[in-house]
Structure 1
Amino acid sequence: MLEVGVRGAANLVPMKIAADGASGSTDAYVVLKYGPKWARTRTILDQFNPRWNEQYAWDVFDPCTVLTVAVFDNVRYKQQSAAGDMNNNNKDSRIGKLRIRLSTLDVNRVYASSFALTAVHPVGVRKMGELELAIRFTCPSWLTLMQAYGSPLLPRMHYVRPLGPAQQDVLRHTAMRIVSARLARSEPPLGPEVVQYLLDTDTHAFSMRRSKANWFRVVGCLSHVAAAVKWAHRVRTWAHPPTTVLVHALLLAVVLCPEMILPTACLYLFLVLLWRYRARPRGPAGMDPRLSHVDSVGPDELDEEFDGVPSARPADVVRARYDRLRAVAARGQTLLGDVAAQGERLEALLSWRDPRATMLFAAACLAAALVLYAVPFQVLLLAMGFYYLRHPRFRGDMPSAGFNFFRRLPSLSDRVL
């Protein structure tokens, strides 16, 4: 069960400019989305510190899913009050959004936190205020919770006959239109701009800012490899003599007793995970402007990000080439994000960002250490080789539990604006 309490907001910026030149007003409301479930709070008029105090609860179908919360300024209400009917030409303004992955939450713990609302506009990035939420994730059965980490993310047909990128794009836009049409008939209605913002339909369009963010995510993962190379160079040059002497002793132990390599490495990982348990994240994290590189882009790049497809450039030839370049760059941007997510999932095993997944990995390291200590290394190596080269008739068409476990690990893609 996921319970979310929308307490209120603080220090919201004016979204409407008054006719007499006053400070303006903000008519804020909150939209929550978890899986197929959508919820909307009431609109509080002319308040920069609104208090909703509304609570929602949903059944959790997967502990590795994401809750999306967004704050909007109600423009249609003013239009309806002034004109007497609904004016669809004006869209509700975005104030901010955040995502919270359930796997990063401890079970049966109440998180009462304030999250910064940051939005990217054509003129730059702005801090729009803060949103106060109370969140609790409960699960009565730990066994069911742990089994979910090894189950496939998608049904069997998605692995036997996977969909191509073009089919995924068509299905994504079709689903967005269907959801928009359904929520437009709700009371109060939600406009298509709200659905597009929460479903992140613009993340597959080219953006220099997102490309930079994904690139530096990849660089951040590769920096650990560079740090290991530098450490080896320092050991080789005797920069720290005690460390070099210890590496010599370890080298002798590995050469004389090769069967101790794997169990010692698993035991070392287990001890490192126990040591890092104290520095684990204490609460859910909101959006990260620094990770999104919202401060490193110029006005021209922001104008390119908010330029629609097809482009609004006057020359037809330039427009065609520009749109083609953006389409190719969008594919590269998605590829960079996928590569970065794989490295970040490896880091999540050691960072306790998902405490249950790291607990399972720590237990597996301990069990592997005990097994590898007890069973001869040559027997294990032969068994692993035979298992890897087994006949296709002895293999299933579904991914293994280890692969499913790795795919469910959290990445930093949830925190990129």
Structure 2
Amino acid sequence: MSAGQPSESDKLTRKYDLIEQMQFLFIRVVRGRAIIMPNNNSNNMFVEIIIGNTKGTTRFFDDDENKACLEWDHVFAFEKDKIQDLGVEVLVMYSVDVAPAIFGRVRFTLSDIPWRVPPEPLLAPRWYKLEDENGAQLAKGEIMLSMWIGTQADEYFPQAWSSDASNTSDDAMAYARSKVYITPTLWYLRVNVIQAQNLLLRINADDNKGSDIFVQVVLGSITLRTNFSKNKSANPSWNQDLMFVAQEPFNDTLVLSVEQGTFSEHVSLGSYEIPLKIVDKRLDSSGVADKWYNLNRPEINENQKEVNFASKVNARISLDGAYHVMEEPIEYSSDFRPSAKKLWRQNIGVLELGILKGTGLEPMKNGARTDAYCVAKCGSKWVHTRTAVNSFSPKWNEQYVWEVYEPSTVITIAVFDNNQLDANSRVMGAKDAIMGKIRIRLSTLGHGKVHAHSYPLITLQPSGFKKMGEIHLAVRFSWTLFSTLDICKLYIEPLLPKHHYLFPLSPSQSDTLRNQAATLISQRLGTAEPPLRKEVVHYILDMKSNMWSMRKARANVQRVMNLIGNIIFLWKLLQDISYFKRPKIPCYIDAKLSGAETSSAEDFEEELDPCPTKLEGKALRMRYDRLRYIGRSTQKMVDELATIGEKVQSLSSWRDEIATFLFALFCSVGLLVTIIVPTQVLIFLCITYYIWYPRFRSILPCVAENLFRRMPSKQAFIL
């Protein structure tokens, strides 16, 4: 096995070889004993570590705590390169009234502290007698310490107090440490509302719309409704699917309620609550049995008469674990695994990311300060580096590893300015400022090769785009599949789970469910301590990717023009010089071609409206919103066209070595086939394949389509 490539047993326990090793002095303050003040007139016992101009402080022990045995269990990490003094001083402090005073101290020399390299066992802490200012031992008082010199690979480093954040208050230190977050497992919840029976209608005789009946389904904070039933009797029917995103461990409750009236004003005809834990799970293409649910009687007024309440609703409810719940756009998604872990295939590789440093970062706060940190997301694992306090050239040097299940995925790395280090900012709800992000497609990385580059950080502002600095990364992707045949087979398999082709979701459903998934992930990660903030999650997941943007529209048009520019030029040239049939009738204005026959009066009014417009208020806002909606649809169509062209172009670019090899092999075989097989036979086979009876076709996409969908495009690199 070549160097730098992991074995199967060692794939997730790699050495930190992608990053620069940083040396730290670790001091673990465990506990103190026999520290009793005369007359017991002190409070707030704490330990202070002093090394040169840098000092760190443990938590305080108040009056009502037991001072006979003080348990601090606090770890400090001082960056060795920044230590100017060779002496280390550990002070046991207390405060009388306001001013702190020294109870005792212990002194060390930096050269006497040993090295420790994981996975070596932890150094055993030992008791040290406290001394006075002259170096004489005190009659009482001991402190248990453990000291060693290590690197950021040390298991104590993530939770240690770091000298990088020495100016940070104790309560904000948690917001400056590195953390790893895991998103919850998400499932699609399908609610097929079929019909209802024996409803007690409340018909408004003065308003025919008051007799409309629909079903309202609520899961958590999400509310969906069916259409109005065409049958307005006591036995209406709908047969309509409503889709939700649910999260394990399924502690939520689904509420079905039959409503009468309009969507804005309606009354309940009965409801039923269903715990998600008892809902059937579907992991294959088998159907789910429908059930009748007896509705609970709604509250009635005193004037209403007592009647027999036997209303019920018929529905088919299932948790579909064979889908992959999309929380990112599919073109640069970081995962395609189905929700149910039983359906996961074996991992195919290991991704290692080294977040090295940032250079030339812009000041983000008053006083020309920047407190930068990075967040990287791949699959369900999010990593949050420590915050480099007040630095325009931060050095993180942190390395992380992910299991990879699909090579055509993307890892996203973003940089933010931390606004949670100040207590007042947290109280006021300050958001972390965005400094830019990058995406790296795993299939474009060479096997086992280290790709170390710097990437520009670009962010959008009302005045335009701005470069916020650069981030330096080292990335390595290593296959655990050592068979070329297995790798090629992976490329021709369907990209998405089988359920997406058996029961496809509409584009509008996909967008709605993606928003639900992102909201759930944001809420779940927001409950961690410290929380991964909402603005961070939404920026990583690119929640505004479908919003209309003139800039994106121009970029997508330019992508298309770059692809077809030469073809258009050649076509126009041929069209100008070769008319076989010259038109006899001169060209004229065509109303149908101009779209005038199908336009409404509002369209003409908008077209003839002068610039600047005469409209204002609600009418202008409605017209602008309609224009944005049309622009969004056009932008999406152009984006899809450009993406298809770029995928075709990437087949021969060797950007993805495996895909280009398969394409070259296909072209070679195709050339031999066209030479050997007569043209009439090829035409017959193509026509036969095209008109093949649907029953004999496979629902899953063909091999060529599977390969094509894995091709990279430039969509992932648009701001």
The verdict on a shared fold, with TM-score over 0.5 as the criterion, is yes
SS, match of residue 427 in structure 2:
coil
Say if 1:88 and 1:194 are closer, same or farther in 2 by CA, change over 3 A.
farther
Q: Residue 302 of structure 1 corresponds to which residue in structure 2?
A: none
Q: 1:178 aligns with which of 514, 517, 520?
A: 520
Shift of 1:112: 0.4
Structure 1 residue ranges without an equivalent (≥5): 19-23, 237-312
Pair 1:146-2:495 in alignment: no
Aligned pair 1:37/2:366, yes or no? no
Task: Name the residue aligned to 1:374.
Answer: 676
For 1:253-285, what per-residue CA distance to the aligned partner results, in whole angstroms no more than 9, with x for missing partners? xxxxxxxxxxxxxxxxxxxxxxxxxxxxxxxxx
- State the superposition RMSD in angstroms: 2.3
**Aligned ranges 1:182-197 → 2 under 5 Å:** 182-197=524-539
Residue number among 70, 73, 84 corresponding to 2:414 in the alignment: 70
Is 1:17–2:348 an aligned residue pair? no
> Counterpart of 2:622?
320
- Give the match for residue 281 of structure 1: none
2:499 is aligned with 1:157: yes
Number of the residue aligned with 1:120: 460
- Whole-angstrom distance in 2 between the partners of 1:16 and 1:317: 41
For residue 2 of structure 1, report the CA deviation from its aligned partner: 0.8
Superposition pairs of residues 242-281 of structure 1, within 5 angstroms: none
Residue 97 of structure 1, CA deviation: 0.6
Aligned-residue offset at 1:88 = 5.9
Distance 1:387 1:323, change over 3 A: closer
Corresponding residue SS for 1:351:
coil
SS in 2 for 1:46: coil
The AA in structure 2 aligned to 1:166 is S
1:362 to 664, 678, 702: 664
Task: Give the whole-Å Cα distance in 1 for the aligned partners of 2:430 and 2:710.
Answer: 39
What secondary structure does 2:412 align onto? strand
- Residues 54-88 of structure 1: CA deviation (Å, up to 9, x unaligned): 1111111110111111000001222x2x46xx336
Query: Within 5 A, what are the aligned runs for 1:181-330?
Result: 181-226=523-568, 228-229=570-571, 315-330=617-632
CA displacement at 1:316 relative to structure 2: 2.7
Matching residue's letter, 2:475: I
How far does the alpha carbon of each residue in 1:180-199 deviate from its partner, in whole angstroms, 9 at most, with x for none? Answer: 01111223321111111111
Q: Output the amino acid matched with 1:63.
A: P
- 5+ unaligned residues in a row in structure 2: which ranges? 1-349, 579-614
2:476 match: secondary structure:
strand
Residues 314 and 14 (structure 1), Cα distance of their counterparts in 2 relative to 1, 3 Å cut: farther
Letter in 1 for 2:359: A
For 1:149, the aligned partner's letter is Y
Residue of structure 1 equivalent to 2:647? 345
The residue number in structure 2 matching 1:52 is 396
Measured after TM superposition, the shift of residue 168 of structure 1 is 1.8
Give the equivalent residue in structure 2 for 1:255: none
Matched, 1:3 2:305: no
CA distance in structure 1 between the aligned counterparts of 2:616 and 2:491, rounded to whole angstroms: 52
Greater RCO, 1 or 2 (C-alpha within 8 Å, sep 6+): 1
Measured after TM superposition, the shift of residue 231 of structure 1 is 8.9
Identity of matched residues, %: 43
Counterpart code for 1:114 = S
Closer, same or farther in 2 for the Cα pair 1:325/1:88, shift >3 Å?
Answer: farther
Secondary structure at the counterpart of residue 63 of structure 1: coil
More helix by share: 1
Name the amino acid aligned to 2:626.
Answer: R
Task: Name the residue aligned to 1:335.
Answer: 637
Counterpart contact for 1:76–1:87, Cα < 8 Å: no
Displacement, 1:42? 0.8
The question of whether the paired residues in 2 share the 8 Å contact of 1:34 and 1:67 is answered with yes
Deviations 1:296-330 (A, max 9, x none): xxxxxxxxxxxxxxxxx982332222222212211
Is the 1:30–1:72 Cα contact (8 Å) retained in structure 2?
yes
- The whole-number CA distance in structure 1 between the counterparts of 2:500 and 2:653 is 31
Task: Give, in whole Å, the separation in 2 of the partners of 1:182 and 1:314.
Answer: 42
Q: Distance in 2 between matches of 1:362 and 1:231?
A: 32
Q: Secondary structure at the match of 2:495?
A: coil
Amino acid paired to 2:397: N
Distance 1:226 1:321 in 2: 34
| Kept in 2: contact 1:29–1:74 (CA 8 A) | yes
Q: Supply the distance in 1 between the matched residues of 2:523 and 2:533 (Cα, whole angstroms).
A: 9
The aligned residue for residue 105 of structure 1 is 445
Q: Give the structure 2 partner of residue 91 of structure 1.
A: 431
Distance 2:406 2:373 in 1: 27
Distance 1:116 1:204 in 2: 24
Code of the aligned partner of 2:568: A
**Cα distance between partner residues in 1 of 2:656 and 2:666:** 15
Partner of 1:405: 707
- 1:40–1:88 CA distance, 2 compared to 1 (3 A): farther
**Helix, strand or coil at the partner of 1:204:** coil
SS in structure 2 at match of 1:16: coil
User: Per-residue deviation at 1:228?
Assistant: 4.8
Match of 2:192 in 1: none
Q: String of CA shifts for 1:100-140, please: whole Å, max 9, x gaps.
A: 11121111111000001111111211110000000011113
Over 3 Å counting, the alpha-carbon distance change for 1:406 and 1:224 in structure 2 is farther
The separation in 2 between residues aligned to 1:136 and 1:204, in whole angstroms, is 31
In 1: Cα distance, 2:501 partner to 2:630 partner: 26
Q: Which whole-Å CA distance do the structure 2 matches of 1:48 and 1:15 have between them?
A: 10
Residues 1:160 and 1:353: Cα distance change in structure 2 (over 3 Å):
same
User: 1:391–1:43: structure 2 CA closer, same or farther, 3 Å change rule?
Assistant: same
Q: Matched residue of 2:467: which SS? A: strand
The answer to whether the 8 A contact 1:76-1:88 is kept is no
Confirm whether residue 387 of structure 1 aligns to residue 662 of structure 2: no
Q: Separation in 2 of the partners of 1:208 and 1:158?
A: 32
- Report which stretch shifted further, 120-129 or 390-399: 390-399
Residue identity opposite 1:405 in structure 2: L
Judged with a 3 Å threshold, the aligned counterparts in structure 2 of structure 1 residues 228 and 59 are, in CA distance, closer, same or farther, namely: farther
| Rounded Cα–Cα distance in structure 2 between residues aligned with 1:108 and 1:226 | 42
Hey, what's the Cα distance between the residues in 2 that align with 1:108 and 1:66? 17
Classify the secondary structure of the residue corresponding to 1:68. Answer: strand
| CA displacement at 1:144 relative to structure 2 | 2.9
